Amino acid sequence: MFWIGSKDIGIDLGTANTLVYVKEKGIVLREPSVVTRNIHTGEIVAVGSEAHQMIGRTPNTLETVRPLRDGVIADFDMTAAMIRHYMKEAIKRTGGSLWKPNVMICAPYGITSVEQRAIIDAAYQAGAGNAFTIEEPLAAAIGVGLPVWEPAGSMIVDIGGGTTEVAVVSLGGIVVSESVRIAGDAMDQAIITYIRRKHNVMIGEPTAERIKMEIGSAHVYGQNREMKIRGRDILTGHPQTVTITSEEAAEAMKDPVTAIVEGVKKTLEMTPPELSVDILERGIVLAGGGALLKDLDRFISEEMELSVTVAESPLDCVAIGTGQALDNLRTVKKHSRQR
């Protein structure tokens, strides 16, 4: 088989979603990082959106899981199957065939060498010719368009599903970084816990995510919005409808949001003075799905007394940067692991 077009593929292997970037094609695939398999036979039944729809609805013969937790591989076999499936899908959508492409996969900055090796092994199992990893915050900075190759400091805060990666980058590498294993998923869980405690109603992750996206905010600066949701009454077991306000959502997410701000503060405290001056002038850039939380940029700006902006395409930055990193492979390899 031969690759019609480029052999370079960038994969944003996220806790919540996986994106695949193909050189000269852009992002060709965006799917949830979810797999459903048969418990007895181990057969993969569904991957991505199809599997995501099965969450909480499968019979006892099937299980639907997220192979990655907190940004790292929790189930190697299912992660390898997911990477293999998405690579094949990406090729199908671009009308080409695959023969051992160069594959760059992003990974959290704080992962161990064993976890990094597991990611690379999964790529080789999926058919990669050469496989590399790139730290997630560096990939995000490249995708945002920050001057990462220059001798100047740039700060990126990438808020994904499982982790928040805060980093200062300069000369193509990470100078200081802090990996906070609290991000979008932790916000969802905080909302679930808050509603169970205050309203005695149990809701699922999809409902919590909808609350976060529709009325959630890091801090309520303006109108206090409302949203009706349905869940299960803990006391009676019956379906129950309750009204949630944006102030309640902000209160529920207070701890995760505070943890993210503390991660930014800690990174700045470790930053060399020369680079701190650059950040003071340029400010901080937010990327990742969590950057879309309403007023998060404003809240961090007030807490840090620095300019904070949200990337133009926060959901795509890591995938784009992962793919573009292959154009600077020699430099990136200094910070990557290859088999």
Q: Looking at the domain assignment, is residue 282 inside a domain?
A: yes
Residue 5 is predicted with a pLDDT of 44
Q: Does 219 share its domain with 303?
A: no
Q: Looking at the domain assignment, is residue 2 inside a domain?
A: no
Q: What single letter denotes the amino acid at residue 6?
A: S
Residue 238 is predicted with a pLDDT of 94
Q: Does 86 share its domain with 149?
A: no
Alpha helices by DSSP H, listed for 160-223, are: 184-199, 205-214
Among residues 254, 279, 296, the one where a domain terminates is: 254
User: For each of the chain's 339 residues, which pLDDT tens digit applies?
Assistant: 344 444 688 999 888 889 999 888 889 999 999 999 999 898 889 998 899 888 878 888 999 988 887 767 788 888 888 888 888 787 777 766 556 788 888 877 767 788 788 888 888 887 788 888 888 899 999 999 999 989 999 999 999 888 899 999 998 889 999 989 899 999 999 999 999 999 999 999 889 999 999 999 999 888 889 999 999 999 999 999 999 999 999 999 999 999 999 999 999 999 999 999 999 999 999 999 999 999 999 999 999 999 999 999 899 999 999 888 887 777 666 655 444
- Here the tokens at position 233 are 């009454």
For the chain, the domain total comes to: 3
Q: Looking at the domain assignment, is residue 80 inside a domain?
A: yes
Q: Does 22 share its domain with 72?
A: yes
Q: Looking at the domain assignment, is residue 170 inside a domain?
A: yes
Q: Does 63 share its domain with 105?
A: yes
Q: Looking at the domain assignment, is residue 3 inside a domain?
A: no
Q: Give CA torsion, residues 183, 186, 187, 192, to 10 deg.
A: 170
Q: Does 18 share its domain with 98?
A: yes
Residue 222 maps to which CATH number?
A: 3.90.640.10
Pairing relationship of beta strands 154-159 and 284-287 according to DSSP bridges: parallel
Q: Looking at the domain assignment, is residue 1 inside a domain?
A: no
Among residues 254, 279, 297, the one where a domain terminates is: 254
Q: Looking at the domain assignment, is residue 302 inside a domain?
A: yes
Determine the 3-state secondary structure of 29 from DSSP.
Answer: strand
Residue 306 maps to which CATH number?
A: 3.30.420.40
Q: Does 176 share its domain with 269?
A: yes
Element (H, E) at 329: helix 329-332
Question: 254-289 as b/e, with b when 16 or more CB fall inside 10 Å?
Answer: eebbeebbebbeebbeebeeebbebbeebebbbbbb
**pTM of the full structure:** 0.85
Q: Does 93 share its domain with 50?
A: yes
Q: Does 127 share its domain with 63?
A: yes
Give the residue numbers spanning the domain of 189.
Answer: 184-254
Element (H, E) at 107: strand 102-107
Q: Does 247 share its domain with 302?
A: no
Q: Does 222 share its domain with 104?
A: no
- φ and ψ at residue 236, rounded to 5 degrees: -100, -25
Among residues 226, 254, 282, the one where a domain terminates is: 254
Asked if 119 and 136 touch (Cβ cutoff 8 Å), the reply is: no
Q: Does 239 share its domain with 328?
A: no
Q: Looking at the domain assignment, is residue 17 inside a domain?
A: yes
Q: Does 40 share its domain with 126?
A: yes
